[in-house]
Structure 1
Amino acid sequence: MAERVRRIAEVPAVPPSPPDAADLLHQVARGDEQAFEGLYDLVSGPVYGLVRRIVRDPAQSEEVTQEVMLELWRTAARYVPERGSAMTWVMTLAHRRAVDRVRSAQAATDREDRAHRRETTREFDEVAEVVSTRLEHEQVRRCLSTLTNLQRESVELAYYRGLTYREVSELLGTPLGTIKTRLRDGLIRMRDCLGVAR
């Protein structure tokens, strides 16, 4: 008998099985802080791994993991075993949080891009542009009418038909120096009429 007792005493004790996530969640739902420590040890590694694959940034992944763990502490009572395993529920929360973080970061980037584009580009107002162009054309026509016929003819050939001074001189049969003088005087009068600063 003593031999039998000795053999039983020598049988190594079976180590307790690791706590189940579902059991830990139920205990956490009752406010058990020790159970939360066990739950943290059990799920924080897989949660971080999943979050890191989605978020990519290590610092943000740590933040999201902490947010998930805090959410587990607050919402453990919402876990319903009939809907799936505790680990699946935890990883679903982690996935949602990670995706929310990515969306939030993308939305912030999009807002910054839109703000930057608004600051750097003025919206094009086609009607205002057409009106402005017509007014400028009218003012140029009015100022051209103040030139002498010889000045106007030289300006129109040089600036509206794109001829060189030499070509204007040859076309009109007038010395090049005279054409240059007409153009210079005509442009000075145009500048003064248009109100262009010197």
Structure 2
Amino acid sequence: MATPTCTEPAPTTVGVRTEFQRHVDGLLVRIGAGDAEAFAALYDLTSSRVFGVCRRLIRDVAEAEDVAQEAYLEIWGKAGSFDPGRGAGTGWIMAIAHHRAVDRVRSTEGARRRDTAWTRNAYRRPGDDTPERILAATEVEEIRAAIGRLSEVRQQALVYAFFTDHTYAQASSMLGIPLGTFKSRVRDAVRALRTLLAATS
């Protein structure tokens, strides 16, 4: 996503909207009436700030760009409800971007928790606490030593599965492999680690 330099000048009078803010207000009113040219102008003026809001909450640049684009789709769809009398358009835009970013963070965290629960349930044997020992990391040195004895592929799978905030889908994408392949690698790595930890018990 292109991130043009924002040309907003610094406010000159406290409590009074700047010329830039009034211009944004006018563009939003035109967008509400279906003016595509006004939307393009608004994007050029505000995209760097919108992306900045998303980037502060979302670590992944590409994902932050996606969320910024989603914010603009919402802006286009809701511009008809914007009322300059209730507040400046710049604040209205940034609130939409912030809400979108927060929603994405919550969604990603929820997916990560589901992946973690899936791992616990999928790889547990009766009486086996390997997933919990990995996730809780209460025996850090023992676990590090055992992981260090695994193959590079297995180590990589465990690191992405248990020691990062990435979901399985994100991890598989970053590694350039299908999601099913990544899950198989994690399963294989957990089994190998289970064997090593059992030998040290």
TM-score by length of 1: 0.52
1:36 equivalent in alignment to 2:39? yes
User: Which amino acid letter does the alignment assign opposite residue 102 of structure 2?
Assistant: V
Counterpart residue number, 1:120 = 123
1:119-175, Cα deviation, whole Å (9 max, x unpaired): 122466xxxxxxxxxxxxxxxxxxxxxxxxxxxxxxxxxxxxxxxxxxxxxxxxxxx
User: Which of 56, 66, 69 is residue 69 of structure 2 equivalent to?
Assistant: 66
After superposition, where does 1:20-169 map in structure 2 within 5 Å? 20-122=23-125
Report the equivalent of 1:182. none
C-alpha separation in 2, matches of 1:51 and 1:76: 20
- Identity over the aligned pairs, expressed in percent? 42
Distance 2:25 2:31 in 1: 10
Q: SS state of the match for residue 20, structure 1?
A: helix
CA distance in 2, matches of 1:117, 1:50: 35
- How much does 1:80 deviate? 1.9
Q: Relative to 1, partners in 2 of residues 1:78 and 1:123: Cα closer, same or farther, differing over 3 Å? A: farther
Counterpart of 1:30, as a letter, is: A
Q: CA RMSD in A?
A: 1.6
The structure number with the bigger radius of gyration is 1
- The count of aligned residue pairs is 108
- Which runs of 5 or more residues in structure 2 are unaligned? 1-18, 128-201
The CA distance in 2 between the partners of 1:24 and 1:49, in whole Å, is 21
Question: 2:87 and 2:58 mapped to 1: Cα distance?
Answer: 25
Structure 1: which 5+ residue stretches go unaligned? 1-16, 125-198
Q: Displacement of 1:79 after TM fit?
A: 1.1
CA distance in 1, matches of 2:125, 2:24: 57
Cα distance in 2 for residues equivalent to 1:63 and 1:89 = 19
What is the rounded CA distance, in whole Å, between the counterparts of 2:38 and 2:90 in structure 1? Answer: 15
Give, as a single letter, the amino acid of the residue that structure 1 aligns with 2:63: Q
Distance 2:111 2:92 in 1: 29
**CA distance in 2 between partners of 1:84 and 1:67 (Å):** 22
CA 1:120–1:25: 2 relative to 1, 3 Å = same
Rounded to whole Å, the distance in 1 between the matches of 2:59 and 2:70 is 16
